[in-house]
Structure 1
Amino acid sequence: MTTVSVSSLVNFLNPSDQEFIARVAALRSPDVTATHPNPPHIPSPQSISEHFGRIVARWDPHPFTTQERQQIRLEGLRYLVIARQIEEVQRDIYPRQLPAEVRAQLVFARQSYMLRYFRLFRINDLPTEILDNIIRFVVWDSMKRPVAARLRITWTCRRWREVAIEDSTLWNAVWFRGPQLDRAWAWFERARSAPLDVRIDGDPEADDLEDEQVDTETAMTTVNLTSESNMTDADMRQMLMRLFSKLATIRMLIVVVDDWKSALVVLELLGTFGPSSGVPMLTRFELHRGGLKNEHRKSLTWPHVIAQPFLGGVLPPTLSYLSLNGVPIDWSGSVLQNLTTLDIRRLPATHSPDVHRFREVLMNCPRLQKLSMDGAGPKFEEENTEHLPPVELPHLRTLVVADFSRQYAMFLFSLISATAVNDLTLMNLCGDDYLPLFLQLHSTFPKVKLLTTYSIQFDVGPQGLAAMTRWLDSMPNLCYLRVANVANQFFGLFFRRDDLGNPVSPHLTVVDCQSIEPVILLQWANDRKKFGTPLRKIYISEELGARLTPEQISELTGLCPLAKLPRGATTPEEEVLSL
């Protein structure tokens, strides 16, 4: 294929255009300052814009004949050549400016070209498979607004609509929400046999999401079943009956409900349909009762519930991600293996697995990478496990332990060995002195880089503080700290005033402070710099940001960048560490 430069097309222009370009080219000489001795009236940019606005308003869209397409191409090429020739002269004479009449002609030529370029819409000359790939890239590269992206694609022109609707992979992330249910079911049908990603959100406390917003991690579909939508458990049953007609193609299913009946309907229908379909494509399943925020988690009472085996007791061959939040399953009758993520929350002892079954589940998941136990774990059977070795989890990188008594937390940590943990979260370990737990954790997680400590309690006496500092020393790679609701003495753990040459957490550079006294934060940041371990970034909550005075903000920003972090947001540094 030969490439034709725009400059070589000058000779194909009509004589008047060639004469104008020659006059513009003469401006390269310093002695030439104008293209015309008596320039005509120069239209303003506003008048040029109004001129093209009138042309667009009068335009009657219609299918082009072959002759019309050729004529528009030639006209567009004419204005493109003129614009490029003027731009070349402008570049050659810089910093001198073009005469005003030439600048106006350049604006006119550019807009004339763009008007014809978009009328031709030459992207439609591409083969269908290439156009389809481009559309997929545009839709899924707009993860925060894929709903709007898909709709606008189908509104653009007849061909784009046909290409998009025929591509089932554009519609497999469906959005069910309130009055948009009809649209969602239309997308459900357009997905045909493509793998489906489904999220059902029935938490009345959940944030009010915009139509163009989705889960950026999973691009799940969202079914908004808030109390305002009057969706009952019977409605949930009816919807799932239709949805599970494609259970064999569902790849991700996330359900967030606020009531027991709806949660039990989900488990029941999964147990009914699961054995027949075999759920061959299901890779991720989450069921959250009581919402994702769980501010009132203690008041969520448990009625008498007969737990059923997950998925009717069948083996989900591709399931790698399982999250159960405040819902029961029959652990002994469920087949759980080869998981990479196990997330269990808010389970009473009556619905928890016994310790031997829990160990068996962990041993059946040798590739486990994330283990989250938030108020949920095996039954407390310390006397039955004291002679058992801990379960080795060599690939575990993220560990979350939250909302346990001191004795239970120590029991829990005695069950596992996970020296490769990179991200450690300890939350709601309060109401007692947890110093014995931190003594137990000394040298247990040597590779931790990201540490989250929310609401932890320990002895703040001299011996306790020294022991806590030794615990921090056992994580020498720590570089990112998230902290909230801790005693002020916690921040003093990072300084050894009697051994300045041996700093605590020398690689710690990023701190996410959700709740701290502003004076303590300022003093801590100053001391880190004074001790030769300065911070490189401080993230603060919006609430903490409102408590900082302008003087404190100025002093903090003088030490390192300061940024507000919305609740639940992920920082770039955190994303890098999680890779």
Structure 2
Amino acid sequence: MSDPQPPSQQLQQLEYPPAIHPVAGALAARQEVRLKQFLSSLSEPQPHDPDRSQHVRYVTSCYHSRIYEVEGYKNRVSPEARVKLESILSELRFDRNLIYWRLFRINDLPPEILITILRYVAWSTPIQKQGVKYRLWLTWVCRRWRSLMLGDSTLWSAIWFADPPPYARSMAWFERAGTAPLDLRINERDERWNSNEDDHRFTGEQMSDLLDMLFVKLSQIRMLIVIVDNWPPALVVLHKLQEAGRAGLEINITRFEIHRAGRPYVWIGPGYQPDTHRNPSVLFGGQTRMLDFLCLNGINIDWNQTPLTNLTTIDLRRLALDVSPSLAKFTQLLRDCPRLHKLSLDGAGPAPDARPLVHKPVNLLHLKILVLGDFSLVYLRYLLAQFTAPNVLDLTLMNMNGEDYSPLLAIITPMFREVRLLTLYAIEVGTIPQSKRLLVKWFDSMNRLGLMKLAQIKRHILEALLEDPQQYDEHLPGTTDSPRRVLCPNFTALEYQVVQADAVVALGQGRKELGVPLKRIYVNEVWVPKVRGEEQTALRTVADLFIAPLGANTVEELELME
């Protein structure tokens, strides 16, 4: 391993760091790049390398002395000079830390402490695919780390079957997991699939073979997420689980998701074997006592024969009405899940009843997250009459276009006053005065709103956030001497994509003039290439600018949902 440079040589290379904005990378991000470059420049350690610890101690002590000297000098200069010296100190401390870690005898730690540290590292990423890499990299460091990693079954119990059949890597992890509870993700999406149901690379037979290998540990499976494109493999999953449950095999799955990503709202065509696949499956053969989280996307179950109680998450997507639960079954499901925390209905809900039941709406007191999407206005009126949820904190409305949905806003204005996080994707609201009034009154009902996520939203919806709500209150005269109220006074963070940057800038400027400026603007990662340099500059004039990585929550989102 090459020796670090002494401080005198390092100091000659220092430059005052420029003012780097978060969207381009803050000082910490810049230093992270330097750290990676430094580590990649080091040679691989060899068994007979000389002990350089004394040299590292000497260089580190030189840095300590230099830092102490600059800190003392900083206290004797003008404030303007202190800013530059603080930049130098930041670089000096970082350069010291580049080599200081080499003195830490991490392998002298007791095994139980070291493995705890390795667990923190392995699970420190919010992005699941990175977690796969982290675990691999940790086993490559040295023999001791590899031995500890391979001996800890919990580190291998979360398995993403994204490698190609026969899944050599994933099955190796499956064996390493031993008797630990298993969290399994099977992802067989084909991005190049042409939606032809009879032409697909992943078949039902392949899914059957994979499940036969996995179900030797069926009782250990805690989470099972399956993502496929067409019917055969999806039907095989439900059928295999039904048969296992009926055979008396122990099923302890607490979270189950199955996603059929092909064409929505269609049932299987001719030629699917066995014939039992034509009939909806009873989920887990009725062994659903442990189930807590259920997501069905593009595929249904036998609603009448499957017992579903005490769920905390119900996520239904893209179901044809003729295979959806009846209104009676749907409302009974809500009653049987009094701890329901999240309800997501995206193009799926109770089938309309020719003779609607007269019943009191189910009161979902513990519901915090509600997602509604891809419904007509008429159906939304019907759906929202079935339940109340006064404590929703996170509300999502998406894919509601083709008509003016402002009447929906009138319905939900008194329903969700506690919302902190609002997501609007492709929502159509008219520009006529009546629609604008309903939009303003809806925003006025959410005084605790802190973060908005927007996609494919028209400019006039953003402009409504700058209106004076008193001008739209029919109970007040046209002019009043009372102080100017502001819509959503706690709204300080915005995440967007597929929205024109100038509309976001106009919103930020208007909120600043009203005395309630935005603090942060997040650009969704997929939309970043669409934001030109001059647009970035304009956005920075109204708020700090950040990139929102896919699959990761923003700081505000985590804080608001606490």
Distance in 1 between the 2:454 and 2:427 partners? 10
Shift of 1:184: 1.9
Which one of 170, 174, 178 corresponds to residue 164 of structure 2? 178
Report if the CA contact (8 A) 2:293-2:312 is conserved. yes
Gap change, CA 1:375 and 1:157, over 3 Å in 2: same
Distance in 1 between the 2:432 and 2:220 partners? 58
Tell me, what secondary structure is at the counterpart of 1:188? helix
Tell me, what secondary structure is at the counterpart of 2:391? coil
Shift of 1:366: 0.7
Task: Identify which range, 243-252 or 426-435, moves more after superposition.
Answer: 426-435
Report if the CA contact (8 A) 1:402-1:427 is conserved. yes
Q: Determine whether 1:314 maps to 2:287.
A: yes
Distance in 1 between the 2:192 and 2:257 partners? 16
- Structure 2 alignment gaps of length 5 or more: 1-37, 73-95, 271-277, 472-478
Shift of 1:440: 1.4
Distance in 2 between the 1:193 and 1:55 partners? 36
Q: Determine whether 1:324 maps to 2:299.
A: no
Tell me, what secondary structure is at the counterpart of 2:423? strand
Q: Which residue of 1 aligns with 2:444?
A: 473
Shift of 1:228: 12
Q: Which residue of 2 aligns with 1:256?
A: 227
Q: Which residue of 1 aligns with 2:190?
A: 204
Shift of 1:552: 4.1
Distance in 2 between the 1:576 and 1:54 partners? 43
Which one of 358, 367, 384 corresponds to residue 413 of structure 1? 384
Q: Which residue of 2 aligns with 1:4?
A: none
Q: Which residue of 2 aligns with 1:563?
A: 546
Distance in 2 between the 1:552 and 1:78 partners? 52
Shift of 1:524: 2.5
Q: Please list, as runs of the form range in 1=range in 2, the aligned pairs for 1:308-457 lying within 5 A after superposition.
A: 308-317=281-290, 319-381=291-353, 383-385=355-357, 387-457=358-428
Shift of 1:348: 0.7
Q: Which residue of 1 aligns with 2:151?
A: 166
Task: Identify which range, 424-433 or 548-557, moves more after superposition.
Answer: 548-557
Report if the CA contact (8 A) 2:160-2:186 is conserved. no
1:435-466 Cα shifts (integer Å, max 9, x gaps): 32221112111101111122222332112211
Report if the CA contact (8 A) 2:317-2:347 is conserved. yes
Tell me, what secondary structure is at the counterpart of 1:427? strand
Shift of 1:141: 3.1
Distance in 2 between the 1:349 and 1:83 partners? 72
1:89-135 Cα shifts (integer Å, max 9, x gaps): 77887799xxxxxxxxxxxxx9xx999x89xx955554443443333
The AA in structure 2 aligned to 1:377 is G
Report if the CA contact (8 A) 1:453-1:484 is conserved. yes
Report if the CA contact (8 A) 1:178-1:229 is conserved. no
Aligned residues: 473
- The two structures have a TM-score, normalised by structure 1, of 0.73
1:212-261 Cα shifts (integer Å, max 9, x gaps): xxxxxxxxxxxxxxx99943211110110110111100011100000100
Shift of 1:192: 1.5
Q: Determine whether 1:514 maps to 2:497.
A: yes
Gap change, CA 1:276 and 1:165, over 3 Å in 2: farther
Gap change, CA 1:206 and 1:478, over 3 Å in 2: farther
Distance in 2 between the 1:245 and 1:320 partners? 23
Shift of 1:576: 2.2
CA RMSD in angstroms, aligned pairs only: 3.7
Tell me, what secondary structure is at the counterpart of 2:465? coil
Q: Which residue of 2 aligns with 1:148?
A: 133
Tell me, what secondary structure is at the counterpart of 1:559? coil
Q: Of the two structures, which has the highest relative contact order with CA contacts closer than 8 Å and spacing of 6 or more?
A: 2
Gap change, CA 1:79 and 1:363, over 3 Å in 2: same
Task: Identify which range, 338-347 or 426-435, moves more after superposition.
Answer: 426-435
1:2-47 Cα shifts (integer Å, max 9, x gaps): xxxxxxxxxxxxxxxxxxxxxxxxxxxxxxxxxxxxxxxxxxxxxx
Structure number with greater Rg is 1
Report if the CA contact (8 A) 2:325-2:351 is conserved. yes
Shift of 1:541: 4.3
The AA in structure 1 aligned to 2:286 is G
Report if the CA contact (8 A) 1:195-1:281 is conserved. no
Shift of 1:85: 7.5
Q: Which residue of 2 aligns with 1:189?
A: 175
Which one of 467, 491, 510 corresponds to residue 527 of structure 1? 510
Shift of 1:368: 0.5
Report if the CA contact (8 A) 1:283-1:321 is conserved. yes
Gap change, CA 1:316 and 1:496, over 3 Å in 2: same
Distance in 1 between the 2:517 and 2:220 partners? 51
Distance in 2 between the 1:92 and 1:573 partners? 37
Distance in 2 between the 1:55 and 1:282 partners? 44
The AA in structure 2 aligned to 1:389 is K
Q: Please list, as runs of the form range in 1=range in 2, the aligned pairs for 1:526-545 lying within 5 A after superposition.
A: 526-541=509-524
1:448-490 Cα shifts (integer Å, max 9, x gaps): 1111122222332112211221122122211212223334322
Q: Which residue of 1 aligns with 2:33?
A: none
- The two structures have a TM-score, normalised by structure 2, of 0.75
Gap change, CA 1:419 and 1:278, over 3 Å in 2: farther
Q: Which residue of 1 aligns with 2:269?
A: 303
Q: Determine whether 1:288 maps to 2:288.
A: no
Gap change, CA 1:382 and 1:230, over 3 Å in 2: closer
Runs of 4+ in 1 over 6 A off after TM superposition: 53-57, 75-96
Q: Determine whether 1:503 maps to 2:486.
A: yes
Distance in 2 between the 1:55 and 1:314 partners? 53
Tell me, what secondary structure is at the counterpart of 2:315? strand
Q: Which residue of 1 aligns with 2:117?
A: 134
Tell me, what secondary structure is at the counterpart of 1:344? strand
Q: Which residue of 1 aligns with 2:4?
A: none
Shift of 1:181: 1.6
Shift of 1:570: 3.2
Shift of 1:60: 4.7
Shift of 1:197: 0.7
Shift of 1:173: 1.7
- Structure 1 alignment gaps of length 5 or more: 1-48, 62-71, 97-109, 208-226
Report if the CA contact (8 A) 1:515-1:541 is conserved. no
Task: Identify which range, 196-205 or 495-504, moves more after superposition.
Answer: 495-504
1:269-312 Cα shifts (integer Å, max 9, x gaps): 01011344655531111000017xxxx647x6653742111111
Distance in 2 between the 1:563 and 1:194 partners? 39
Distance in 2 between the 1:553 and 1:114 partners? 38
Report if the CA contact (8 A) 2:369-2:392 is conserved. yes
Which one of 532, 552, 556 corresponds to residue 573 of structure 1? 556
Tell me, what secondary structure is at the counterpart of 1:286? strand
Shift of 1:77: 8.0
Distance in 2 between the 1:548 and 1:350 partners? 44
Gap change, CA 1:477 and 1:313, over 3 Å in 2: same
Distance in 2 between the 1:564 and 1:114 partners? 32
Tell me, what secondary structure is at the counterpart of 2:316? strand
The AA in structure 2 aligned to 1:360 is Q
The AA in structure 2 aligned to 1:374 is D
Distance in 1 between the 2:526 and 2:64 partners? 55
Distance in 2 between the 1:91 and 1:240 partners? 60
The AA in structure 2 aligned to 1:202 is E
Distance in 1 between the 2:44 and 2:538 partners? 57
